[in-house]
């Protein structure tokens, strides 16, 4: 069986996830890792039995065994490496968020050529509950979609624990905070479930840094959003409502929902596989009102079990494209840019 030789650039926390996903795939084989911290690159290679490790991206890209790279370093330094990888003829799987802004995504698209390139924001779609919800929407059970929403509030714990690295809460280094770190998953998940039919047109948004009592929960100098809210008007009179917060002065509350003219779906994007109530269908029944039922799970296709496996199969030509292409990532980045632009101006902003 043909396999794709992967190189992973960036050996921080998320690299472990990629290495485990590759090990679970029959078509992905990690042949090299790289990190600017030598001990970190060496440790990852030894931990997962990777044949080669490097301290520069350039050295890894020179390795002829590498067919594709996973870019798992901070957002602010990824785009130049993505462009360099494409120059070397490598396929590119980019961690989320895809880039600092839409202009960077467009640069990557222009350099892509015939190589496969994709974003990891699709992680939460490789679940049975995502397939279950998608099948329900596709069947027309909900009628006309009216509102798609997520509200995911994480209350501040009693004491700070494992503060995020400084780059993660930096507008310059990461392109944003909770919006780009977590709501890229929300957006990709809801777009997937609704068949990518949401077409954002305008945005009204606001965001806030951590309140003073919670300032110790992030690194000093953090200037990105710890709480945002956005109302997005989409084509066909659909409204997309998004809100996320971490270290919040509010009780933890998480809900994903798709409200239609005839019925609605209540979802749990972060549900564990096999959770029987991960997708709830609420249907209007004349004379009875709203009746609820947990939907039986629709199994994820066997050849599409995780983001690395999905990408490798696209490289091998077993599928037409990876789940979240650069085109889809660009749509989500344009919406993200518009949310920040609206928050800065205090006015509604159009989504090109």
Q: Which H helix or E strand runs over 291? A: strand 289-294
Q: For the chain, how many structural domains are there in total?
A: 2
- State whether 241 and 311 are in the same domain: no
- State whether 180 and 251 are in the same domain: yes
Distance spanning both ends of the chain, measured CA to CA: 43
For residue 227, which phi and psi values (nearest 5 degrees)?
A: -155, 130
- For 152, the domain range is 124-299+333-350
Tell me the CA distances in angstroms from 235 to 13, 140, 145, 146, one per residue in order: 39, 18, 11, 11
- State whether 98 and 26 are in the same domain: yes
Whole-number Å distance between alpha carbons of 272 and 208: 30
Cβ–Cβ under 8 Å, residues 30 and 50: yes
Whole-number Å distance between alpha carbons of 280 and 141: 13
Whole-number Å distance between alpha carbons of 162 and 60: 31
- State whether 153 and 220 are in the same domain: yes
- State whether 82 and 224 are in the same domain: no
- State whether 104 and 137 are in the same domain: no
- State whether 51 and 167 are in the same domain: no
- State whether 182 and 119 are in the same domain: no
- Characterize the bridge pairing of strands 263-267 and 227-234: unpaired
Q: Which letter does DSSP use for residue 297 in this model? A: P
Q: pLDDT, tens digit, for every residue of 98-137? A: 999 999 999 999 999 999 999 999 999 999 999 999 999 9
- Characterize the bridge pairing of strands 91-94 and 68-71: parallel
- State whether 215 and 316 are in the same domain: no
- State whether 159 and 53 are in the same domain: no
Here the CATH number for the domain that contains residue 256 is 3.30.360.10
- State whether 272 and 295 are in the same domain: yes
- pLDDT value of position 297: 87
Cβ–Cβ under 8 Å, residues 244 and 227: yes
Whole-number Å distance between alpha carbons of 211 and 213: 6
Residues of the chain with pLDDT under 70: 300-304
- pLDDT value of position 305: 79
- State whether 151 and 290 are in the same domain: yes
Find all residues with CB under 8 Å of 302, minimum gap 6, and list them: none
Tell which residue, 100, 141, 119, has the closest CA to residue 334: 100
Here the CATH number for the domain that contains residue 104 is 3.40.50.720
């Amino acid at each position: 069986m043909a396999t794709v030789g992967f190189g992973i650039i960036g050996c921080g926390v998320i690299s472990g996830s990629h290495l485990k996903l590759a090990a679970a795939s029959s078509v992905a084989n990690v042949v090299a890792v790289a990190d600017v911290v030598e001990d970190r690159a060496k440790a990852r290679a030894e931990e997962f039995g990777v044949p080669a490790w490097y301290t520069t991206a350039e050295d890894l890209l020179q390795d002829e065994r590498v067919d594709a790279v996973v870019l798992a370093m901070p957002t602010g330094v990824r785009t130049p490496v993505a462009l360099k990888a494409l120059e070397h003829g490598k396929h590119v799987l980019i961690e989320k968020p895809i880039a600092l802004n839409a202009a960077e995504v467009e640069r990557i698209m222009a350099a892509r050529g015939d190589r496969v390139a994709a974003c990891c924001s699709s992680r939460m779609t490789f679940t049975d509950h995502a397939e279950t919800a998608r099948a329900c929407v596709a069947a027309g059970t909900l009628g006309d979609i009216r509102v798609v929403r997520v509200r995911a509030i994480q209350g501040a714990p009693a004491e700070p624990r494992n503060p995020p690295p400084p780059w993660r809460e930096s507008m310059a280094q990461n392109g944003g905070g909770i919006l780009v770190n977590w709501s890229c998953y929300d957006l990709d998940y809801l777009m997937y479930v609704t068949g990518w039919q949401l077409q954002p047109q305008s945005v009204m948004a606001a965001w806030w840094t951590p309140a003073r009592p919670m300032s110790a929960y992030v690194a000093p100098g953090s200037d990105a959003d710890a709480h945002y809210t956005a109302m997005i008007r989409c084509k066909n009179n659909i409204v997309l409502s998004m809100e996320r917060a971490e270290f919040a002065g509010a009780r933890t509350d998480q809900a994903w929902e798709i409200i239609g003219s005839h019925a609605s779906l209540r979802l749990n994007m972060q549900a564990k596989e096999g959770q029987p109530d991960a997708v709830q269908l609420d249907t209007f029944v004349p004379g009875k009102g709203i009746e609820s039922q947990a939907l039986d799970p629709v199994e994820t296709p066997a050849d599409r079990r995780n983001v690395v496996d999905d990408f490798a199969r696209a490289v091998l030509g077993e599928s037409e494209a990876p789940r979240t292409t650069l085109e889809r990532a660009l749509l989500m980045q344009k919406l993200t840019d518009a949310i920040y632009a609206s928050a800065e101006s205090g006015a509604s902003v159009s989504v090109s």
